[in-house]
Amino acid sequence: MRTHRWVATGFGGLDDFEFVADELSPPQPGEVTIEVRAAGVNPADLKHAQRGGDPADLPLPIGYEVAGTIAAIGSDTEIASGGGAVGDDVLAFRVRGGYATALTVPASTVFAKPESLDFPEAANLLLAGCTAADMLRAARIERDDTVLLHAASGAVGVAVLQFARLRGVTVIGTVGGPDSAERVRAFGGIPVRHGEGLTDRVLAISEEPVVAALDAAGTDEAVDSSLELVADRSRVITIAAPQRARTAGFIALGGAQPESLAFRNAVRPELIALAGDGDLMVPMARTYPLADARTALEVVAGGHPGGKIALIP
């Protein structure tokens, strides 16, 4: 089967991205070939190609999550949600090389797509959703807790807000402007403007002590205010400021950490079920043709895209 896909031929970022043609071998037992209908675009896609590494690993396939249709399935193989046949609509997460017209992946990464999600939504569900759920786990969030959330209107932030609302958790979420504030309100959070005086504004809003802080922004302001407001540093969680976490003694989460990896893998069926029932939404900003992957990544890397972005082959 012929495929066209994006790869990084070096570690210099977008300048090293190339759109290449390739031939897919038939899937082996335990594998599934997916005809891609949408690929999720995430900041991690570009960071993966910029972090450096062994030149022997080049070219690097780009893209961690997709949605599409099963084009072929290995013998004696079931997808992670059970069953699986040619023509079934599916989504897959923790794959390598999702920026493609087709790819072959381990069947353990593939799940039936809920009918209520379109392909762009399904292709953007699990990376942000698993990250958000893991942040709540790591911070030991319980019903009736009050939590400070930085970058609350972003993809991970919106997922956190939805999980918190389901659990009866109060979230005060930092925002930069009225559109972001409206999005936070729509998903059940209490918006607060970031900038000078943030800590005082949070204290003025909160009726209960802030017991945990979740940082998806990575700014010094986000970290400093979190440490001011939360006494227990094991309940200050960041996905964006690992160096500050090491020096200041709070928690930096990453999907490759063993505990996080196990949790994120285990929580996928629950998130898919929530999305299928309408309890977990994936706000979309726009889509781009697959050939415009560089442009899509520039928009995501610039911050504040207004929702998730998908590539459409």
Q: CA Rg, the chain, in Å? A: 20
Closest CA to 212 of 230, 225, 198: 230
Provide the pLDDT for residue 49: 86
Q: Which residues of the chain have pLDDT under 50?
A: none
What are the phi and psi torsion angles at 285 (to 5°)? -95, -55
Domains of the chain: 2-125+282-312 (3.90.180.10), 128-252 (3.40.50.720)
SS3 content of the chain, % helix, strand, coil (to 5): 35, 25, 35
The pLDDT tens digits for 61-75 are: 999 999 999 999 999
Cβ count near 249 (within 10 Å):
11
**Whole-number pLDDT of residue 53:** 80
105 beta partners: 32
DSSP secondary-structure letter at 215? E
In the numeric block, the tokens 């292709």 are attached to 123
Closest by CA to 41, choosing from 112, 127, 104, 105, is: 127
* Residue 195 CB-density burial (10 A; 0-12 exposed, 13-18 middle, 19+ buried): exposed
| Residue of 129, 123, 179, 124 whose CA lies nearest to 306 | 179
**Tokens linked to 197:** 């005086």
Amino acid, res. 164: A
* Residue 54 confidence (pLDDT): 85
Put simply, whether the predicted model's pTM sits higher than 0.85 gets the answer yes
User: Maximum CA pair distance of the chain?
Assistant: 61
